[in-house]
Chain A
Amino acid sequence: MRRAAARLRPWFCGLPCGEMRLPAARGGAGRAEGGCPVCREEVGSFREEEAGPRRGGAPASLEEAIAAAARILLTARAPFVYGLARSATETARRAAALAAALGGGIDVEAPPGARADRIALQTFGLPGATFGEIRNRADLVLLWRCDPRATHPHLLAGAPRTPLQPPGTRRVILLPPAAEPPSRARADLLLAAIPGSDLEVALALRAMAAGRRPAGETIGGVPAAAVRQAADLLRAARYAAILWDTAATGGPDGPAVASALTLLARDLNAAGRCAARPLGGGGNVAGAATAILGATGSPGAVGFGSGRPRFAPGEYDAGRILGEALCDALLLVGARGPLPATLSRRPGGAPRIVALGPRLPAGAAEPDVFIPTGLPGLSEEGEAMRADGVPVRLRATLLTRRPAEREVLAALEQAVAAGRGSAVA
């Protein structure tokens, strides 16, 4: 590997991230500087010495590995394609086509909170905005179990202003992340809600913003007066924004929390302006879901067993398919993990696993076939989509000997097509 450029605009967090600098290093990106912890981890973990396809744990040529992978997929009765959070959007489109050709299923990996956020969105909608618009306009930000100012300083940097509007001021209401001591919080108003009380606080805040007065002196550990003050600030804001992390909606009441925050923002738009947005599932979860939407009409959990795409969240959801080991062949493409423990035990060697991507996903045992590829946005060009729906260009900053993920998937598609053709013949 040789250095092609030393600066990188990382995308692995799914947010507008700060520029990274890549010091010279052999065999990988080295200790990258800048960006956010997620992006530094992703870039810093790219190691070319792990290069080289493996079949049954032993080195194999790329051609041998692709042929073996195609055999596994072609002989499966219930193949499943999963991952894509590390992949470029075009790769996700190809993966959907491959799942269709195999008559299998496909799903995009995402944290539980992202699924909860989607349920809320599909139920009530979302009064959203791009991250740039929030930075340019929000005079009040409610940070719910997140503080992107720590990891993404420029996301809310400076005073709100637009090309047509003079600079204003911005206030912050913070409901701190559960893991962070409230004493360290920087905010104009702190809502130190106890863990597990998010729904209670969100419902109370919505009620107060609507002019109602819930009973009780504290709500989820927060003085009712503070919640009322937050409601008053939200109502008085010219352009409020509510941001939350998937950690806030990852629990059993996640869809309800996401719904309550969505409806709070929706109410505030009756007279003023308010944008609400989850920070998303990271990586290219949004782009992969969009690609599969365009190809099938559904963002994931799609089965092609009947010959047509069928959206069946209860049936093709990765949580069920992987958790209950309901597939007999699993194609992991750009997967991050962690994967369910059932996949590391693999009683009887099932399901058979083919993995493509820059590295094995967390929690994955040695797959039947592993083909290491480049990392889109570091060593491969392409397209991705941020959590706010803004498409971003992925550039190849490092040159690598590894094959590109999209090229490997294309070769696998061809091998599957050829295999099916010969089976028919």
Chain B
Amino acid sequence: MIDPRNRRSEVGDVCLRDGRVVDALPAAAPVLEARHLVVMPGGVDLHTHVAGPSVAAARLLCPEDGGRTLPTLAETGRLYARMGYTTIVEAAVAPLGARAAHADLDAIPIVDKALLVLLGNNEIALGFLAEGRPDALREYVAWVLEAARAFGVKAASPGGVEAWKCGLHDRGGTQPADASGAAAPAAPLETILDAPGPAPGLTPRRIVQALAGAVRDLGLPHPLHLHMNGLGVPGNAAVALATFEALAGLPAHVTHLQYHAYGGRTPAGLRSRAAEITAWINAHPGLTCDAGQVVFGPATTISADAAAQHRLHRATGRKWLNLDIEVESGCGIVPHAYRESHLVSAVQWAIGLEILLGIEDPWRVVLTTDHPNGGPFTSYPHIIRLLMDKPFRDGILARSHARLKERTGLQGLSRQYSLEEIAVITRAAPARLLGLESKGHLGPGADADLVLYDPSADPERMFANPIAVIKDGEPVAREGEILRETPGRTLRAAPPRAGGRARTAFEKEIRDQFEAYYTVPFEDYPVPEGAVRREQVVAARPVAR
């Protein structure tokens, strides 16, 4: 068994009872013989896009996808389960769409699910910030989480979507390059962190710090989930490094880091600055990330960072769907394809691997493709082989674009992941970063979600075709065949809220905002009790105030 959290990498027994791992079982208990197999906890995907109005809009936009990157809801659960993943997090839902997102999550079988709500451009939240009311901001975050029955908070390009809605395509006087590669930033890109926002002082830097602080102070299981500003823009590694410094020790998880580790000034000149990014992370304990690895093949890009999606549409000429969402957020969708022979795609591919290989502590980096942005989650076994097998990745490097080697440092990275390290970045670390005590390990008290692999195959085959997948103690898949479709649970946080008159007064204030700016009634906004089929509350952490 490989159970990194409990420091167990040995031959032994795992005892399961009533859906949980237990210390011991009676001698007469039935035995599943797993000799010569590898047992790991079920995989945990902490950043994926599989549910809600944005994903539905992507399906509507792209019938030609044929399920390659946008599987149906039922197939999503089956594909994850076949691969040995048992917990997934839908990482970007505008609270206004939470009702539909939960209906979708309910329709995804087998796996446990959770959703993160978008708050980095929420005008009510930003209003509290502009007014200098951190307590009101914290109470609002708690209210939204409760209303959306959500697990955590995501900020996508904080302040950037609001700027896009206001007609500012580029932040802080910067001019991200277009497809022709003609334009170059007029000012250092990192100044976008201090660009004037829609209200005085409402800069991305301040929004990031305030939301990270609010999430910390509420004791949410997962820190602020941060999609940084400047996604996809050449030279944006400067923004990432400035953001890391701006966080100044505040807890945060930066997501799809690959899209934020770019050097160069134009797409044609795109190069990797992953080495600087990973060096910073290696030198500063605390910050965690996921990769956002791209894989060659079709993708569908779906992001709340609507300005970035508009830039991608302009760069590629592909069809583009935008949805500005009242008060809360934005959404952009552009179908895409990453090609080995295309220099930008190849550099992106290499940067993701540089991040995964360059961060020394596997507990601080998680395997994701930002599904379906970097490619489908079904490519995780392929990425695992890339991480475990240097000759394999060197082979792809050799046949990719001729100028790739001079743009990245991938060739110089000799690291090959061990099975233990793979277990960390695919289950133990994401479970820990999500604050899920019962996930990602095989110790007593853990959910009985586990996977049996045949280690004799190459890593890609091994992780693509588990011998058996067990969810809540029940076998759900065997060698690629789904045995049963259990419903799975939906996890949500329950942060503390003000009580009594303070609560009443606060909700009155929110109600007034609804009547002025929303087109749905205040009382119809919260996802009602009973609307989520199998719900599980994950307790907030104790917080010292």
For chain B, residues 8 to 59, give those with C-beta under 8 angstroms from any C-beta of chain A: 53, 56-57, 59
Contact between B59 and A294 (Cβ–Cβ < 8 Å)? yes
Contact between A137 and B165 (Cβ–Cβ < 8 Å)? yes
Contacts of A311 in B (CB 8 A): 63
Contacts of A270 in B (CB 8 A): 314
B324 CB within 8 Å of chain A: yes
- Chain A 46-70, CB-CB to B under 8 Å as 1, else 0, gives 0000000000000000000000000
Contact between B320 and A163 (Cβ–Cβ < 8 Å)? no
Contacts of B63 in A (CB 8 A): 122, 297-299, 311
A289 CB within 8 Å of chain B: yes
Give the distance in Å from the alpha carbon of A312 to the alpha carbon of B230 in the complex. 40
Give the distance in Å from the alpha carbon of A93 to the alpha carbon of B127 in the complex. 39
Contacts of B518 in A (CB 8 A): 132
Given contacts A135-B519, A297-B59, A393-B524, contact A163 B327 (CB under 8 A): yes
Given contacts A136-B326, A297-B70, A391-B100, contact A122 B60 (CB under 8 A): yes
Contact between B320 and A125 (Cβ–Cβ < 8 Å)? yes
A37 CB within 8 Å of chain B: no
Give the distance in Å from the alpha carbon of A164 to the alpha carbon of B323 in the complex. 19
Contacts of A296 in B (CB 8 A): 72
Contact between B324 and A163 (Cβ–Cβ < 8 Å)? no
Contact partner, A295, options B61, B72, B326, B528, Cβ 8 Å:
B72
Q: Separation in Å of the B20 CB from the closest CB of chain A?
A: 32
Given contacts A130-B519, A164-B162, A294-B56, contact A390 B320 (CB under 8 A): no
Interface size class of B (residues with CB under 8 A): 35 or more
B517 CB within 8 Å of chain A: yes
Contact partner, B73, options A137, A273, A295, A395, Cβ 8 Å:
A295
Contact between A164 and B130 (Cβ–Cβ < 8 Å)? yes
Contact between A163 and B123 (Cβ–Cβ < 8 Å)? yes
Contacts of A239 in B (CB 8 A): 165-167
Given contacts A165-B198, A295-B73, A297-B70, contact A126 B517 (CB under 8 A): no
Contacts of B520 in A (CB 8 A): 16, 132, 390, 392
A144 CB within 8 Å of chain B: no
Give the distance in Å from the alpha carbon of A270 to the alpha carbon of B315 in the complex. 12
Give the distance in Å from the alpha carbon of A275 to the alpha carbon of B322 in the complex. 8
- Chain B 378-406, CB-CB to A under 8 Å as 1, else 0, gives 00000000000000000000000000000
Smallest CB gap from A313: residue in B: B63
Contact between B61 and A121 (Cβ–Cβ < 8 Å)? yes
Contact between A132 and B103 (Cβ–Cβ < 8 Å)? no
A interface majority secondary structure: mixed
Contact between A293 and B60 (Cβ–Cβ < 8 Å)? yes
Contact between A90 and B320 (Cβ–Cβ < 8 Å)? no
Given contacts A125-B61, A125-B320, A390-B520, contact A133 B165 (CB under 8 A): yes
Interface size class of A (residues with CB under 8 A): 35 or more
Contacts of B253 in A (CB 8 A): none
Give the distance in Å from the alpha carbon of A381 to the alpha carbon of B455 in the complex. 51
Smallest CB gap from A118: residue in B: B60
Contacts of B445 in A (CB 8 A): none
Contact between B53 and A163 (Cβ–Cβ < 8 Å)? no
Contact between A238 and B167 (Cβ–Cβ < 8 Å)? yes
Given contacts A126-B321, A390-B96, contact A133 B326 (CB under 8 A): yes
B66 CB within 8 Å of chain A: yes
Give the distance in Å from the alpha carbon of A136 to the alpha carbon of B165 in the complex. 11
For chain A, residues 256 to 287, give those with C-beta under 8 angstroms from any C-beta of chain B: 266, 269-273, 275
Q: Separation in Å of the A153 CB from the closest CB of chain B?
A: 13
Q: Separation in Å of the B101 CB from the closest CB of chain A?
A: 9
B435 CB within 8 Å of chain A: no
Q: Separation in Å of the A80 CB from the closest CB of chain B?
A: 20
Contacts of B516 in A (CB 8 A): 161, 163
B498 CB within 8 Å of chain A: no
Q: Separation in Å of the A390 CB from the closest CB of chain B?
A: 6
Contact between A294 and B325 (Cβ–Cβ < 8 Å)? no
A363 CB within 8 Å of chain B: no
- Chain B 75-109, CB-CB to A under 8 Å as 1, else 0, gives 00000000000000000000011011001100100
Contact between B61 and A383 (Cβ–Cβ < 8 Å)? no
Contacts of B97 in A (CB 8 A): 389-391
Contacts of A142 in B (CB 8 A): none
Q: Separation in Å of the A136 CB from the closest CB of chain B?
A: 6
Contact between A164 and B72 (Cβ–Cβ < 8 Å)? no
Contact between B321 and A125 (Cβ–Cβ < 8 Å)? yes
Contact between B107 and A294 (Cβ–Cβ < 8 Å)? yes
Contact between A16 and B519 (Cβ–Cβ < 8 Å)? yes
Q: Which of B127, B198, B314, B322 has the most CB of A within 10 A?
A: B322
Contact between B517 and A136 (Cβ–Cβ < 8 Å)? yes
Give the distance in Å from the alpha carbon of A111 to the alpha carbon of B96 in the complex. 27
Contact between A294 and B72 (Cβ–Cβ < 8 Å)? yes
Q: Separation in Å of the B235 CB from the closest CB of chain A?
A: 22
B126 CB within 8 Å of chain A: yes
Contacts of A163 in B (CB 8 A): 123-124, 126-127, 327, 513, 516-517
Contacts of A304 in B (CB 8 A): none
Contacts of B524 in A (CB 8 A): 9, 392-393, 395
Contact between B322 and A127 (Cβ–Cβ < 8 Å)? yes
Contact partner, B323, options A16, A266, A383, A389, Cβ 8 Å:
A389
B67 CB within 8 Å of chain A: yes
Contact between B323 and A129 (Cβ–Cβ < 8 Å)? yes
Contact between B198 and A164 (Cβ–Cβ < 8 Å)? yes
- Chain B 293-336, CB-CB to A under 8 Å as 1, else 0, gives 00000000000000000100110000111111111000001100
Given contacts A293-B56, A295-B73, A297-B66, contact A393 B528 (CB under 8 A): yes
Contact partner, B104, options A122, A238, A269, A294, Cβ 8 Å:
A294
Q: Separation in Å of the B121 CB from the closest CB of chain A?
A: 10
B413 CB within 8 Å of chain A: no
B251 CB within 8 Å of chain A: no
Contact partner, B57, options A164, A273, A389, Cβ 8 Å:
A389
Smallest CB gap from A299: residue in B: B60
Contact between B99 and A393 (Cβ–Cβ < 8 Å)? yes
Give the distance in Å from the alpha carbon of A385 to the alpha carbon of B103 in the complex. 12
Contact between A275 and B324 (Cβ–Cβ < 8 Å)? yes
Contacts of B61 in A (CB 8 A): 121-122, 125
Contacts of A275 in B (CB 8 A): 322, 324
Given contacts A93-B107, A295-B73, A297-B66, contact A130 B326 (CB under 8 A): yes
Give the distance in Å from the alpha carbon of A130 to the alpha carbon of B518 in the complex. 10
Smallest CB gap from B528: residue in A: A393
Given contacts A164-B198, A391-B53, A392-B520, contact A273 B60 (CB under 8 A): no
Given contacts A162-B123, A270-B314, A297-B72, contact A125 B60 (CB under 8 A): no
Contacts of A137 in B (CB 8 A): 165, 324
Contacts of B519 in A (CB 8 A): 16, 130-132, 135, 390
Q: Separation in Å of the A287 CB from the closest CB of chain B?
A: 8
Smallest CB gap from B101: residue in A: A391
For chain A, residues 148 to 168, give those with C-beta under 8 angstroms from any C-beta of chain B: 161-165
Give the distance in Å from the alpha carbon of A239 to the alpha carbon of B71 in the complex. 35
A123 CB within 8 Å of chain B: yes
Give the distance in Å from the alpha carbon of A293 to the alpha carbon of B62 in the complex. 11
For the complex of A and B, list the 9 residue pairs with the smallest distance between their C-beta atoms, beginning with the closest.
A132-B326, A129-B324, A16-B519, A132-B519, A125-B319, A391-B100, A163-B123, A391-B99, A393-B524
Q: Would you list 16 pairs from A and B whose C-beta atoms are within 8 A, ordered by A residue?
A: A123-B319, A124-B320, A130-B324, A130-B325, A132-B326, A132-B518, A133-B325, A164-B123, A165-B198, A266-B320, A293-B56, A293-B59, A385-B100, A389-B57, A390-B53, A393-B524
A121-B60, A133-B165, A133-B324 are known; give 9 further A-B pairs, CB within 8 A. A127-B321, A129-B325, A135-B326, A135-B519, A163-B123, A163-B516, A289-B60, A391-B97, A393-B99
Interface residues of B (CB under 8 A from A): 53, 56-57, 59-63, 65-67, 70-74, 96-97, 99-100, 103-104, 107, 123-124, 126-127, 130, 162, 164-167, 169, 198-199, 202, 310, 313-314, 319-327, 333-334, 513, 516-521, 524, 528
Interface residues of A (CB under 8 A from B): 9, 16, 89-90, 93, 118, 121-133, 135-137, 161-165, 238-239, 266, 269-273, 275, 289-290, 293-299, 309, 311, 383, 385, 388-393, 395
